Amino acid sequence: MLAPPVQRLVTELGKLPGIGNRTAQRLAFHILRTSPQDANALADAIRDVKEKITLCEVCFNLAEGPRCTICADERRDPALICVVEEPGDVIPIERTHEYRGRYHVLGGALSPIDGVEPGDLKIAQLYARIAGAEEPVSEVVLATNPTTTGEATALHIATALRERAPDVTVTRLASGLPIGSDLEYADEVTLGRALSGRRAL
């Protein structure tokens, strides 16, 4: 029914999370109606992030260049590392203004059922980073999601760190976060409280 180029756009938009076929069609027709400048700006923005954004060589957060803005910021405390699952989890923690340390982005959570093993995440890189740190790391905050896989990941890392880096205090976000939900949906007041009330594991 649709001209092939339109159908192609609908198909591509439909691959986005949370976008069903009807929404994809609506968005495609919206893009058809917009000015060439606006449509090109969208296409350019997509191309740009794919070309320019890489993972930070230190913490695996998104970065333009070898290091992310947080790792490049000398004012951020290198003795404190907050471990999160995805780059998107850094944003809600930053919004709380409760945290002045660095991050480590795992790239997911352990889930043996889905075939996600420790080697698939940046876990070894975390241990290497702690072992090789110029300024010693004093605390690792495990801020993985309060889900089954997030909890399993936190437990796995806490157990390993107790052996590998006994001098490092390992903490977990305090309860109060909605169980089973993702960090990125937590409001900043709740997340700020969870951060300031973090407890040793």
When the beta carbons of 26 and 95 are compared against Zn ion, the nearer one is 95
Q: Classify residue 52 as exposed, middle or buried by CB count within 10 Å of its CB (0-12, 13-18, 19+).
A: exposed
DSSP of 82-95:
EEESSGGGHHHHHH
Q: Give residues in contact with Zn ion (CB under 5 A).
A: 56, 58-59, 61, 68, 71
DSSP code for 62: E
When the beta carbons of 61 and 145 are compared against Zn ion, the nearer one is 61
- What stretches of the chain adopt beta strand conformation (E)? 53-55, 62-64, 77-84, 101-105, 139-142, 169-172, 199-200
Tell me the C-alpha distance between 80 and 150, whole Å: 20
Find tokens 């976060």 and name the residue.
177
| Minimum distance, C-beta of residue 189 to Zn ion, in the bound complex (Å) | 26
| Minimum distance, C-beta of residue 141 to Zn ion, in the bound complex (Å) | 15
| Minimum distance, C-beta of residue 200 to Zn ion, in the bound complex (Å) | 25
When the beta carbons of 9 and 71 are compared against Zn ion, the nearer one is 71
| Minimum distance, C-beta of residue 105 to Zn ion, in the bound complex (Å) | 8
